[in-house]
Amino acid sequence: MNKIKITAILCAVIMTTALFVSGCGQRPAASEPSGGSSASGFMYTGGLPLAPEKTTLTFATHQGVGGGMVPPSNDVPIYAAMEEMTNVHIEWETYPTDQYGTMLQLRLSSSDKLPDIINLTLGNLKSFADEDIIIPLTKLIETDGPHTTRYMKENPSYRTLMTDVDNEIYAICNTVIADCLPLNYMANIYAMERVGVKDMPQTLDEFYDLLVKFRDAGMIALHDGFTRITGHSSTSHYLGNAFDLQTVWDGYASIVNDKAILHFEHPNFKDYLSFVNKLYAEDLLIKDFTTSGYYDVLVQRITSGDVGVAGYWATYAYMFGDMSPDSDPFKDKGISGEDIPIYEPMPPVKSLSGKQYFVKRLGGAGGDPMTITSDCAEEKRPVAMRWIDWLFNGPEALEMQYNGVEGLTYEKNSDGTITRLEAPDGKLWTTWLTDIGGNQPPRAHQQLVEGWRMAWMPDWMNDNYLAHLKYYIDPDILPIAFTPDETEEYSRIQADLDPFIDENIVQFVIGEKPLSGFDAFVTELKSRYGGDKLMELYQARYERQLAAQGR
């Protein structure tokens, strides 16, 4: 393995999407046998076990997103059950999530033998392959990845996202639910009633009027936290769409007439920024929107009954309701606050073009990518691929991820459905699932809307989800891979670009800079900070996207 150039490679960072988890109520359908490879008379066609004899593989990954996640360990029930099913013993090499990037850099830069499988969360995958650190998976997927092959056939956009510029696939990455409860605004419907508003806003004017009523009632009208209002924030998702920006999921670019332009160049962006500035100036948006520890502050204020509209992942709506004092009368009657719609995810308001939409969220090449290193012995590579393949889309693996272990967390019924068993010690069932190794595992995994609906959504949230499905549209631009050279250039530009954007956007929002200076900001962004060059990278990538889509 050539590690001479690894330091340069590690400077290139790809964009990832933070994911949230789901649970499943019915066993996924088993895949039909197809293809397969053989060794020592053992023909693998997609079933279990994955190897005729116990095979040991090493796997390096982080310990899970969120403090409540359980690090992978063979002492944890789900991982123990996986070993028994697959005949594959994993020697886990795990690191705290907040240290994983640093530890992985040190690990890749050393002369020590690498684990067989790694969660390669940094750098450009093709660059690592070019340096003989990881291997292409394309042929292995054909021979030893029947579950992934089936998934790609059923979801061709996933193959497009996973395929690099040389038509090779180097890793299997996360999937996300494209059209279910994204970052959004959630309105307290009981607070709405108290200020005389019955229906959810359908226009920007109605949204503004609702915030004014909340403010005049002494509440925090809009609680959202962000620094850049084109990144991941509820403001960009909810209000950005209202201005037809589509600034939601892919970095810096908008597509106008098949041309990549900076979000800030979009004809509607200044109007969008002016509207957010108006909310701030009129005390309709929290003053400390850049605060660190945003979630903890939001929880404190919701618990105090102070928040009219909360900006966060809409999957938290049922928890926010349970925190709210408006749940107390129901709790007095023995009804959980989670089962009552209090903070309800809002529908999108009509945009300037008259449309009413959310933009689908598509995962890109980079979310917890599982890949095989060149240090993995040749004879073990087929089993390593089968393990990755089975973890990602094997029916038994998906069932354990979302339901746990049969006989421990659930029982199977004669019709194939399951009955979940009562969690011990008064825990939420989903907390119990997390404790035994399920939920959001620290490796490439799928989010399944069926699982999300069964495990996380009270009936009222499921109704909300179904009512909002009609609003989702496909994004103009997909987060497919940049080339290694593009990734390096992207990272170089980003290092100076991000601080400049964050500083200026905040100043425009809070009024420290007048909006009359916005055009000069855009000019400087393009000429001095590499914005024009960045759009060349996006344009080249977008043209590859069009070619892959046959457009």
Q: Are residues 297 and 188 in the same domain?
A: yes
Q: Are residues 173 and 184 in the same domain?
A: no
Residue 24 located in a structural domain: no
Q: Are residues 221 and 340 in the same domain?
A: yes
What number of other Cβ atoms are within 10 A of residue 100's Cβ? 20
Q: Which two three-digit tokens encode residue 481? A: 């891979």
Q: Are residues 112 and 219 in the same domain?
A: no
pTM recorded for the entire structure: 0.78
Q: What is the pLDDT along the chain (551 residues), one digit of tens a residue?
A: 554 344 444 443 333 333 323 333 333 333 343 446 655 568 898 999 999 999 999 999 999 876 678 899 999 999 999 999 999 999 999 999 889 999 999 999 998 999 999 999 877 899 999 999 999 999 999 999 999 999 999 988 888 889 888 999 999 998 878 787 778 999 999 999 999 999 999 999 999 999 999 999 999 999 998 766 666 678 887 898 899 988 655 678 889 999 999 999 999 999 999 999 999 999 999 999 888 788 899 999 999 999 999 999 898 999 999 999 999 999 999 999 999 999 999 999 999 999 999 988 876 555 899 999 999 999 999 999 999 999 999 999 999 998 999 999 999 999 988 899 999 998 888 889 999 999 888 988 888 877 777 767 899 999 999 999 999 998 888 888 888 899 899 999 999 999 999 899 999 999 999 999 999 999 999 999 999 999 999 999 999 988 887 78
Q: Are residues 244 and 160 in the same domain?
A: no
Question: 480 is in which domain, residue-wise?
Answer: 180-359+471-551
Domain boundary among 384, 414, 447: 447
- Count up the domains in the chain and report the number: 2
Q: What is the CATH number of the domain that holds 267?
A: 3.40.190.10
Cα→Cα distances 108→112, 266, 366, Å: 8, 41, 17
- The number of C-alpha atoms within 13 Å of 324 and in the hemisphere containing its C-beta is 30
Three-state DSSP class for 1? coil
* Sequence-distant (≥ 6) Cβ neighbours of residue 317 within 8 angstroms: 181, 186, 341, 343, 344, 345, 461, 464
Q: Are residues 93 and 155 in the same domain?
A: yes
Q: Are residues 255 and 138 in the same domain?
A: no
Main-chain dihedrals φ then ψ at residue 389, nearest 5 degrees: -60, -45
Q: Are residues 154 and 63 in the same domain?
A: yes
Q: Which two three-digit tokens encode residue 26? A: 């019915």
Q: Are residues 325 and 194 in the same domain?
A: yes
